[in-house]
Amino acid sequence: MKQKISKLSSLGIGDSALISQLTCTGEIKRRMMDLGIVPGTKISALHRSPCGDPVAYSVLGAVIAIRACDADKILTTALPK
Our CA dihedral for 23, 28, 34, 40, rounded to 10 degrees, sits at: -10
What pLDDT is stored for residue 2 in this prediction? 62
**Fold topology of 5-78:** SH3 type barrels. (2.30.30)
**pLDDT given at position 80:** 74
**pLDDT (mean) for 9-35:** 93
Task: Say what the pLDDT of residue 22 is.
Answer: 95
- 24-71 pLDDT, tens digit per residue, is 999 999 999 999 999 999 999 999 999 989 999 999 999 999 999 999
pLDDT at 1 over 60: no
pTM over the 0.85 mark:
yes
Helix ranges, 1-81 (H):
26-34, 68-71
